[in-house]
Amino acid sequence: MNENKKLIPTIVIVLVAVVFGSTSAYAEKAIPGDPLYTMKLNVNEKVAGIFSVTKEEKAEWQERLVERRLDEATKLVSGNKFNKKDRVILENQIKGQIEVFSANVKELSLNDNTSTNSKDLNTRLEAALQAYKSVLDTLSTNNTINADTKSQAVILLTTIDSSSLIANNNKIEIANTTIDTGVDSASTLAKKDEASSALSSIKLLYQKNKLKLSLTKQKEIDSNLAVAENYILEGEKLITSGDYTNVISKYTSAINTIDEIQLSLVSNVIKGDIEDDIGVGRNHEDDDEEEDDD
């Protein structure tokens, strides 16, 4: 996913703040219950959404809106002031945004032979949902959180689980629309190129974010990368045999492994950013394992 495209909504919101003054800028920090929250939804975000023109841009913006709602929920829970009214507001927003996201992604997948963008968009949404679920789950078990906040957080977690299932089903549907039933030399080479390109992309993404991950997560990703590389090597050894079905199976296994790596990596990076934002550290299990490795 193009990093510059992801910055467009943020830049637009900054421009909105300039045009509408400091009030709009303050509204960006608003959460449900704050006087400026309505302005954040109906002015800042609506104006920013106008600049999302293509199906891909619209889907990216809807995914970003889901993250913004979950970010607000996280702040309410960590601030010990998450009530039923605010939960319902956020749940309705999240459900609506995911519906629009899904519609755009499905249409995008039908117009894109490789559906790479569609798959990446779904992976990003799934990763964000997993990351926020993990953080909210941790916060909801904190002894300093009051009973009402805990109960509302638990209900929201159920919603996130349902939303995560929708995102995963979208990914499966996209994968099913891109299955090549013709197994020949050309389709085998195409699958090889897809697997090799995916491996190069995930390695680059991993190197960019490696220092944000715990040593435990790094070891897990290193291990899975080795598995993916081995699948590709096995495919290359078989390719001269003419057993194209088996070759494609190897490359498909490599791609599936890489998809799992991407989901885990992105989810953990998002989770780390959330924890930094609300002042929650990494869990002690990771820290203890890192000390043992030293």
Same-domain check for residues 123 and 215: no
Could you tell me if residue 64 is inside a domain?
Answer: yes
pLDDT digits (tens, 9 = 90+) for 182-228: 556 788 888 999 999 999 999 999 999 999 999 999 999 999 999 99
Same-domain check for residues 56 and 175: yes
List CB contacts of 175: < 8 A, sequence separation 6 or more. 115, 119
Q: pTM, whole model, 2 decimals?
A: 0.81
pLDDT digits (tens, 9 = 90+) for 82-114: 999 999 999 999 999 999 998 888 888 777 554
Could you tell me if residue 87 is inside a domain?
Answer: yes
- Among 130, 164, 179, the domain boundary falls at 179
Tokens found for residue 17? 């703040």
Could you tell me if residue 7 is inside a domain?
Answer: no
- Among 129, 159, 179, the domain boundary falls at 179
**Residue 28 burial (10 A CB sphere; 0-12, 13-18, 19+):** middle
Same-domain check for residues 170 and 198: no
Mean local confidence (pLDDT), 16-22:
56
Q: What is the CATH number of the domain that holds 248?
A: 1.20.1270
Cβ distance 25 to 39 under 8 Å? Answer: no
For residues 210 and 262, give the distance between their C-alpha atoms in angstroms, rounded to a whole number. 12
Could you tell me if residue 40 is inside a domain?
Answer: no
Q: What are phi and psi of 186, to 5 degrees?
A: -65, -45
Confidence of residue 279 (pLDDT cuts 50, 70, 90): confident
CA distances from 112 to 56, 98, 102, 178, 254 (A): 11, 20, 15, 9, 22
Q: How far is CA 141 from the centre of its chain?
A: 24
Q: How far is CA 168 from the centre of its chain?
A: 11
Q: What are phi and psi of 183, to 5 degrees?
A: -100, 105
| C-alpha atoms less than 13 angstroms from C-alpha of 40 in its C-beta half-sphere | 18
Count structural domains, the chain: 2
CA distances from 286 to 218, 222, 224 (A): 11, 16, 19
Could you tell me if residue 1 is inside a domain?
Answer: no
Same-domain check for residues 189 and 292: yes
pLDDT digits (tens, 9 = 90+) for 122-148: 899 999 999 999 999 999 888 889 999
Same-domain check for residues 286 and 186: yes
% helix / strand / coil in the chain, to the nearest 5? 85, 0, 15
**What DSSP string describes 59-127?**
HHHHHHHHHHHHHHHHHHHHTT---HHHHHHHHHHHHHHHHHHHHHHHHHHHT-SS-HHHHHHHHHHHH
Same-domain check for residues 119 and 214: no
Dihedral sign computed on CA atoms, order 221, 206, 167, 92? positive
* Residue 234 domain boundaries: 182-294
Q: If you count DSSP H runs as helices and E runs as strands, how many of each does the chain have, helices first?
A: 12, 0
Could you tell me if residue 32 is inside a domain?
Answer: no
